Amino acid sequence: MVEKRTPLAVADAVQKVMEHKLEGQQEFVSIFDSCDRFLSEDLKADHDVPRFDRSAYDGYAVKSEDLADCSKENPLRLKVIDEIGAGYVCNKSVGRFEAVRIMTGAMLPPDCDAVVMLEDVIEASTLDDKHITISKPVLKGENLSFKGEDVQAGAVLVKKGTKINPGIVALLATFGYEQVPVAKKPIIGVFATGSELLEVHEELEEGKIRNSNAYMVMAQIKQAGAEAVYFGKLADVLDESYQAMKKAMDTVDILLTTGGVSVGDYDLLPDIYRKLGAEVLFNKIAMRPGSVTTVAVLDGKLLFGLSGNPSACFVGFELYARPIIRTMLFSEKPHLTTASAILKEDFPTTNAFTRFIRSRAVLADGVLYTGPSGTDKSSIVSSIANANALTILPGGINGFKKGEQVQVILLDDSANTY
């Protein structure tokens, strides 16, 4: 007897999962290890950048009023009274018709209000006397970087939950974050199911295939920003599997399984969820691939029962597990980005369920196009490797034509492919 399951709409399934989102935690890591982690606090400026008016070029700090009337015909001679490298400060007072040699980044002497670039002066020195000649005026403030022009003290520069990139690392360094507050990586346990599965190191046997889902999902977990723990394969025996999952639940935030969630005689997950006392949020979604994707809750932790079909497993993870992980990393936008794109091929067939086609999105002349990245069948592995997007084809519509505008979900690890 086949159990009848009522399919849930994708958006409703996503919402149901997100109602059970988990709290993230904070830890501190060295700034050297902070790139690609997620900020657990807003990055706030505790001082202006620059902290002082400084020279933007190598040259001479001057009083602009001294230069007001100078010209080629009427060059001006200034006495050089000091020289300041970047990091040093001029302690002399600068009088009328005096100048200070200044390097890029050095603090402007308080008596000066502009810098003349090195290229625009003629230097002349005797043993105990240094002069420059200038033949064009300079505006007040010229060739300076002003206090606070980059960042003002108190400003929130980067929001909590943002993934740290090299530019953010530069800001962290600027504001003295030797230790950076980041989201702790959630621990995600992974079990594979299926007696047809061999591990990657095992020799092939007739009727068997190598387990690819668990390795794929662990890579997806890593890219989502969490840490994967592999528990190996569940035996096809209910009690043993139940014990293994029960034990694993104690050590992880989220437990993922691949396979075993369908309605077949060998699909143990429904029975294990029952035995664990987990509340099944749904076990049928109106989507292809991945309609059997199951999510359950137990003691405030989540169990994801992903399909054993590679493409279905992949899509199920990206739609339902990834946003939970990103929420634990404090992201305000935990879901993958959706964009409009033009279909590059016809999709003549109709399906009652929403389809997520493994796709290759390409920018051509500033416009985004999308087409399948390989054969569109849930059992296919090869189309995932080449995908950088999932094309969404809503269910119940009588086929889609090349040139139509559709929505695509942009996958995370594919920046360099557009």
- Looking at residues 384 to 413 of the shown chain, list those that interact with a second copy (rule: CB under 8 A): 384-387, 405, 410-413
CB of 27 to a second copy, least distance (A): 18
> What residues contact 334, with CB distance under 8 A and at least 6 apart?
322, 323, 324, 325, 326, 327
Taking CB under 8 A as the criterion, the residue among 23, 72, 348, 366 binding a second copy is 366
Alpha helices in 62-204 (DSSP H): 166-174
**How many whole angstroms separate alpha carbon 288 and alpha carbon 169?**
40
220 contacts a second copy (rule: CB under 8 A): yes
From 7, 24, 22, select the one nearest 183 (Cα to Cα). 24
**How many whole angstroms separate alpha carbon 54 and alpha carbon 108?**
5
From 330, 323, 283, 287, select the one nearest 305 (Cα to Cα). 283
User: Binders of a second copy among 267-306, rule CB under 8 A?
Assistant: none
- Site size toward a second copy (CB under 8 A) is 117
Taking CB under 8 A as the criterion, the residue among 9, 14, 18, 35 binding a second copy is 35
Stretch that binds a second copy, among 9-17, 239-247, 283-291, 363-371 (CB under 8 A): 363-371
From 287, 292, 314, 318, select the one nearest 380 (Cα to Cα). 314
185 contacts a second copy (rule: CB under 8 A): no
CB of 299 to a second copy, least distance (A): 28
336 contacts a second copy (rule: CB under 8 A): yes
For a second copy, which is the closer residue by CB, 234 or 278?
234
> Token digits for 282?
């749904």
415 contacts a second copy (rule: CB under 8 A): yes
**How many whole angstroms separate alpha carbon 290 and alpha carbon 47?**
51
127 contacts a second copy (rule: CB under 8 A): no
For a second copy, which is the closer residue by CB, 278 or 357?
357
196 contacts a second copy (rule: CB under 8 A): yes
From 322, 331, 326, 39, select the one nearest 167 (Cα to Cα). 39
CB of 77 to a second copy, least distance (A): 18
- How many C-beta neighbours within 10 Å does residue 130 have? 17
From 333, 307, 334, 313, select the one nearest 226 (Cα to Cα). 334
CB of 69 to a second copy, least distance (A): 25
31 contacts a second copy (rule: CB under 8 A): yes
For a second copy, which is the closer residue by CB, 64 or 407?
407
175 contacts a second copy (rule: CB under 8 A): yes
> Token digits for 317?
């993870």
Stretch that binds a second copy, among 47-55, 125-133, 344-352, 390-398 (CB under 8 A): 47-55
For a second copy, which is the closer residue by CB, 20 or 335?
335
From 353, 339, 349, select the one nearest 293 (Cα to Cα). 353
**How many whole angstroms separate alpha carbon 197 and alpha carbon 301?**
27
CB of 284 to a second copy, least distance (A): 13
367 contacts a second copy (rule: CB under 8 A): yes
Taking CB under 8 A as the criterion, the residue among 86, 139, 153, 397 binding a second copy is 86
CA atoms in the 13 A half-sphere facing the CB of 254: 33
Stretch that binds a second copy, among 70-78, 117-125, 133-141, 238-246 (CB under 8 A): 117-125
Alpha helices in 63-152 (DSSP H): none
In angstroms, the first-to-last Cα distance of the chain is 48
- Cis status of the peptide bond prior to 110, with omega within 30 of 0: no
Taking CB under 8 A as the criterion, the residue among 216, 245, 261, 393 binding a second copy is 216
> What residues contact 403, with CB distance under 8 A and at least 6 apart?
342, 343
From 181, 177, 176, 178, select the one nearest 159 (Cα to Cα). 181
200 contacts a second copy (rule: CB under 8 A): yes
CB of 297 to a second copy, least distance (A): 25
153 contacts a second copy (rule: CB under 8 A): no
User: Binders of a second copy among 97-116, rule CB under 8 A?
Assistant: 103-107
Taking CB under 8 A as the criterion, the residue among 85, 110, 154, 403 binding a second copy is 85
For a second copy, which is the closer residue by CB, 44 or 96?
44
> Token digits for 37?
């982690």
Taking CB under 8 A as the criterion, the residue among 124, 339, 399, 401 binding a second copy is 339
